[in-house]
Amino acid sequence: MKTLRMIMAIPILLMAFGCQKEPQLPIGEAYENMEAVETRQDAEALLAIISDLEAIVQEQVNSGALGGNAQGLLAKLGQARRNALAGKVDVAENILYHAFSNQLFSFYRNGILPLYAYMEMVNTLEQKGFFTDLRDGKEYGWVLLADGKRWMRDNLKYITLTSVVHQEANEEKFGRLYTWEDALSTCPPGWHLPSYDEWYEMALYYSYDENTTEPSAALAYDALVSPEYGTGGHSGFDALLGGWLRANGVYDGFNESGHYWSSTPYGDSEAWYAFFYQQNGEVYPVHVLKSNFMSCRCVED
């Protein structure tokens, strides 16, 4: 099998016109030129992915591993290539996402695609978007993470009879806080509260780098927490450190910790949640009384 290239993000060129001796471009033309550079570089990154995938698929065809699905995948790759060459980057990304979002994970799971190459592809194809909760008209961002699932990248804000907000001014950004029982049924239609396993598997993908052989809670924290807290935040998940409300009415942890419910109970009176802790820069699972109030992120069904 051909050695798979590691696809690195290509930085956007910043053009410092004031330092040049040549006549300066008009502002509108300057932005158009910068946008053209960015589009070309995005297309180059996509073309690199397409070439790698073509090599992988063709090798699977030669070995008989892909069966009848192979020709369809090759056709989609050709379609994506034509759009990327034409500068239609969004169209090419959309084709690759729909054709390969599940296939990439299958390649990784079966040992065809190395972990770091898989993550680079997912990150380069990073699919982000928005959807509207039809119950109340609120809009949420979503992001395709390395586990191949779409996760909300905003905290849930749906109002229930028992949900609370620490300060009204913070609701738009930090969302509302829910008891575990409330959280179980509060995600928008087509979405659900992630289980312990879903949280664990998602975080595990971000727990390694080229220098580690064991999972690192610190690496996962750095990838999953919003960059506004000084992290790398390269996953796009943007976890917030909004704190939590204890069942006794004491609010704690604002700008220090993030607390996100899972759907998995722990005994009769407790449940698991994902704990993002700034003091040690780690994320890990913790169980707590179901009557406490915490944030929610949902994952698509």
Mean pLDDT of the region 23-37: 40
CA distances from 162 to 49, 51, 195, 227 (A): 47, 52, 22, 31
Dump pLDDT digits (tens) for 222-254.
999 999 999 988 888 999 999 999 999 999 999
Residue 252: per-residue pLDDT:
96
pLDDT the model gives residue 260: 99
Torsion of CA 269, 167, 159, 300, to 10 degrees: -70
pLDDT tens across 94-133, in order?
A: 677 767 766 777 788 788 878 777 777 776 665 677 889 9
For 258, the 3-state DSSP assignment is: strand
Report the mean per-residue pLDDT for the chain.
82
Measure the CA–CA gap between 198 and 115, rounded to whole angstroms: 18
CA atoms within 13 A on the CB side of 129: 11
Query: So what's the pLDDT on residue 146?
Result: 80
Q: What is the pLDDT of residue 29?
A: 40
Instruction: Select the highest-mean-pLDDT range: 61-65, 81-85, 125-129, 167-171.
Output: 167-171
pLDDT band at 43 (very low <50, low <70, confident <90, very high): confident
Q: What is the pTM of this model?
A: 0.63
Give the pLDDT confidence of 168-208 residue by residue, as tens digits.
999 999 999 999 999 999 999 999 999 999 999 999 989 98
Are β-strands 191-192 and 150-152 bridged in parallel, bridged antiparallel, or unpaired?
unpaired
Q: What pLDDT was estimated at residue 26?
A: 39
Q: 214, 232, 211: which is closest to 223 by C-alpha?
A: 232
Tell me the C-alpha to C-alpha distance, in Å, between residue 8 and each of 102, 106, 108. 22, 22, 18
What integer pLDDT is reported at residue 256 of this predicted model?
97
Identify the band that residue 63 occupies on the pLDDT scale cut at 50, 70 and 90: confident
Q: What count of other Cβ atoms lies within 10 Å of the Cβ of residue 22?
A: 6
d(C-alpha 111, C-alpha 146), whole Å: 16
**What residue segments make up the domains of the chain, in order of their start?**
17-124, 128-300
What pLDDT shows up at residue 41? Answer: 62
Dist CA 242 CA 260 (whole Å): 10
